[in-house]
Structure 1
Amino acid sequence: MVSRTTADAKGDVVVLLIGMRINRFWAVHLWLPVMFGMFRMLRELTKDPARGLLERVLLTASPRTYYVVQYWESKEKLYAYATAPDAFHHKAWAALNRKERKGTLRGEVGIWHEAYVVPEGSYEAVYGDMPAFGLAAAHGQVPLERRGRYARDRFSYRSQPDAEAEKTG
């Protein structure tokens, strides 16, 4: 029997994609610290769940491009971590800016991020015979039928009753 589940996310979902691209393989001394810095930030966030990181998935797009899909409690917690003076991110970003100003970095490594706040009703997920992964690992996993058999049903799911329905009901 196939076990199908969906993510048990409620409300908005905050997703951060963050990564690096190795532009010049020979410049190991420049891109390796960037990679290790990401691992250090992930360890820091894992040790302090109050900062708001719910889950992360490490991925590679090519031998040159590595990234992390992160699920956050809220955009406020994501912003707070990004700007916290006591967080390793602050130190790493400052060091990168200093290298760029000095001209030490000349395109050997690229960095990027994309952040999304996805409103409830604008995401859905299906997992077949899978442990909790991605969105389901971040927010929990429930049987598919609880949110609807079809994608349109899962997209229309709301964790809070519609205000209009409450007024008329």
Structure 2
Amino acid sequence: MAKVIPGRQTAEIEGPFVVFIIGVRINKWLSVGQWLPVVQAMPPMLKELYANKELGFLDAAYFMSARGPSIVQYWRSYDQLERYARGGEHHLKAWKDFNRKARTGQAVGIYHETYLIENGACESIYVNMPATGLGRAGKLTPVGAGSETSRERAGLGRRGEEGGSRSTE
């Protein structure tokens, strides 16, 4: 079990980075033969990424909804993410298999969203949590002067600047 870090922490990460969210939606639960291979394709890809950090992959966090799993991935750059999508050994096979099977029915769907954080501006708070999400991809630091509010952590300044109001976690 991951060690809980007491108190309030925020994540720091140097330079630009990419947040990539990918998920599976199981539309027909009884069509196990169509959706199970899609779900099973992700672990080998993640194993490949964790074993080859030079590819630009930083970390991933898993989430489960009522309709299937989603994964939030953190990447150093969009170019590295795209290079893996087009050339990663496990990804190309999974991509081709899914596209072939997707034509045969609608039992399973996939989605992805990609967010490019060019200026490093992001906001996070972790209270009595182990390193999680961006806190694992980057590094955790204690919340202190200049990072007490959500606005400050996002690099937007103090209350009243840029027309905003005070925001907390």
Q: Same fold, TM exceeding 0.5?
A: yes
Segments of 4+ moved more than 4 angstroms = none
1:59–1:66 Cα contact (<8 Å) kept: yes
Q: Residue 34 of structure 1 is aligned with which of 34, 38, 62?
A: 38
Q: Residue 90 of structure 2 is aligned with which of 65, 88, 91?
A: 88
* Count of equivalent residues: 152
Give, in whole Å, the separation in 2 of the partners of 1:57 and 1:149.
25
Does residue 18 in structure 1 map to residue 17 in structure 2?
no
Please tell me the residue identity of whatever aligns with 1:26. L
Structure 1 or 2: more helix by fraction: 1
Identity %: 38
* TM-score normalised according to structure 1 size: 0.82
Aligned counterpart, 1:116: 115
Give, in whole Å, the separation in 1 of the partners of 2:14 and 2:54.
19
Q: Which secondary structure state, in structure 2, belongs to the residue aligned with residue 156 of structure 1?
A: coil
Structure 1 or 2: more strand by fraction: 2
CA displacement at 1:131 relative to structure 2: 1.5
Q: Between Structure 1 and Structure 2, whose CA radius of gyration is higher?
A: 1
Q: 1:145 to 1:107 in 2, by over 3 A?
A: same
RMSD: 1.9
Does residue 70 in structure 1 map to residue 69 in structure 2?
no
Q: Which secondary structure state, in structure 2, belongs to the residue aligned with residue 46 of structure 1?
A: helix
Q: 1:32 to 1:55 in 2, by over 3 A?
A: same
Please tell me the residue identity of whatever aligns with 1:88. H
Identify the range of structure 1 (36-45 vs 145-154) with the bigger mean alpha-carbon deviation: 145-154
Give, in whole Å, the separation in 2 of the partners of 1:147 and 1:69.
28
Identify the range of structure 1 (27-36 vs 119-128) with the bigger mean alpha-carbon deviation: 119-128
In the alignment, structure 2 segments of 5+ residues that lack a partner are 1-5, 157-169
Please tell me the residue identity of whatever aligns with 1:94. K
Give, in whole Å, the separation in 2 of the partners of 1:49 and 1:126.
26
* TM-score normalised according to structure 2 size: 0.82
Aligned counterpart, 2:165: none
Give, in whole Å, the separation in 2 of the partners of 1:24 and 1:153.
45
Identify the range of structure 1 (5-14 vs 133-142) with the bigger mean alpha-carbon deviation: 5-14
Aligned counterpart, 2:53: 49
In the alignment, structure 1 segments of 5+ residues that lack a partner are 158-169
Give, in whole Å, the separation in 1 of the partners of 2:118 and 2:52.
26
CA displacement at 1:121 relative to structure 2: 5.8
Q: Which secondary structure state, in structure 2, belongs to the residue aligned with residue 25 of structure 1?
A: coil
